[in-house]
Amino acid sequence: MNLRLDRSLILKILMTLILPISIVIVKPLGMSLFQSIVLGTLFLTVTWWATGCVNKEFASILMLLIFSVFGDTSLKNIYFFPLSHDFVTIIASFILSQGIVNSKVADRFSKYVLNKFCKNSKALVLMSFVLGIVFIFIIPQPFPRVIILASIYASFLKNQNITEEENQVLIFSIFLGSTVTSMMFLNGDLILNYMAIEFAGISMSQLEWMKYMLFPTFLTSIILCLVYIFTFKNFLHREFILHEAEPEKISRKEAIATAIMMLVVVFWITENIHGISAMYVSLSGVLLMFIFGVIRIKDLSTININLMLFLTAAFSIGKVLTGSGISSILSNYFLTFFPPLDSVIYLPFVLLLIVVIHAMFGSTITALSVVTPTLIGITNGVFKPEFIALLGYVAVSIQYLLPFHHVTILIGFGNGYYKNAHVIKMGISLTIILPPLIFGIFMPWWRFMGL
């Protein structure tokens, strides 16, 4: 039996090598040998990530090593993520979340909030979208926001008689909800949202962003919540056991943990005033929790090293594709297929191109870094840069097929909250619903707003 499984696995791995080796041999689009090796390695890694036939960490390390040798990109750029503030912020968020768990603050929240409003699975999914909006004003950083919400949901669900699959589907709704609701406000995602307008070479105030994005995103959130419930309807039929209880006296540890988190949140919210990076704020919060005994050295084990390796590999893709010149080659190739500007299929083709590039390059930021400047150049004098920027932003934010296509989804997947299969299943629904959302909600609203 084991021998058959080993042979089957070996066969699958060999099959995944066919396309990458072909790319290296053929050297498509006039690519050099090094460029072909990089592109082939990217496709190989993405396939391994998607199928799981090779250990995810091994696949990530192999890609980073090949990128380092053949990527024609400085090591500083390839490994920029571990050197960034976001890397430290994510790690600190894991520890802060564990502090919330240790102090029982999450248990208290689940007891008096989720127990009051979430009587069944569908209500909990709806709550994911509601809290996704509310927590934007509390934690204006997407990474700690979803990590903390996931810990709260996990605390609530551990007292329910549900299967592991149901648990994963319910927690996945947090991450899905965050990718959508973060589009409402400019500070909903302090990385992706600001990058979207930066790549377009434009500036946009919070009020301008809300003018174009708040209403259509609110409608989209409602629709995608319903789509999510329909997609996973077989796992969302559970009635929860609610535990009504009289408010208990808050413990010293709860009070300290709550005070520290409130302090951290206040500094996160007011970052543009005091100028202290979220990284330093997060680390200060961790230090205070250590000092007051809310967390201990053993809690450092909650840091998911494999996830950080995975994120490092995923974020390196855009830098290497750009540094090696592959992005330019692929962009020029796609341009040859563009229909005339006055064609009725022009905008649908632009949307399709964005989706294809996003699928190939993975990262939302990588895809936007390629398509936004290119499309603005092509449509100069026809469409406003703001329109192109928001079109690309909405497309890559809503539509994804695999975890590495959106960093928020990637964090949850890498932390083991849900499986590839869940992301793919919802990704198919997102791909189907994207054109109606773009052409039926966002574009009419933008046209009404004069964009």
Classified as helix, coil or strand, 27 is coil
Higher pLDDT, 344 or 2: 344
Where among 282, 303, 324 does a domain terminate? Answer: 303
Would you say residue 309 lies in a domain?
no
Would you say residue 115 lies in a domain?
yes
Report the distance separating Cα 184 and Cα 292, nearest Å.
Answer: 37
Q: Which residues of 244-260 are buried (b: 16+ CB within 10 A; e: fewer)?
A: eeeeeeeeebbebbeeb
The yes-or-no verdict on residue 4 having pLDDT over 60 is: no
Where among 34, 49, 72 does a domain terminate? Answer: 72
- Position 74 scores a pLDDT of 93
Q: Are residues 145 and 173 in the same domain?
A: yes
The yes-or-no verdict on residue 5 having pLDDT over 90 is: no
pTM of the model: 0.76
Q: Are residues 47 and 154 in the same domain?
A: no
Where among 303, 319, 353 does a domain terminate? Answer: 303
Which residue, chain included where needed, has tokens 């230090």?
287
Would you say residue 355 lies in a domain?
no
Reported as a single tens digit per residue, the pLDDT across 402-426 is: 888 888 998 898 888 999 899 999 9
Based on the structure, what is the number of domains in the chain? Answer: 2
Would you say residue 284 lies in a domain?
yes
Residue 50: Cβ-neighbour burial (10 angstroms; 0-12, 13-18, 19+): middle
Reported as a single tens digit per residue, the pLDDT across 216-256 is: 999 999 999 999 999 999 999 888 877 665 566 777 888 88
The yes-or-no verdict on residue 1 having pLDDT over 50 is: no
Higher pLDDT, 417 or 148: 417
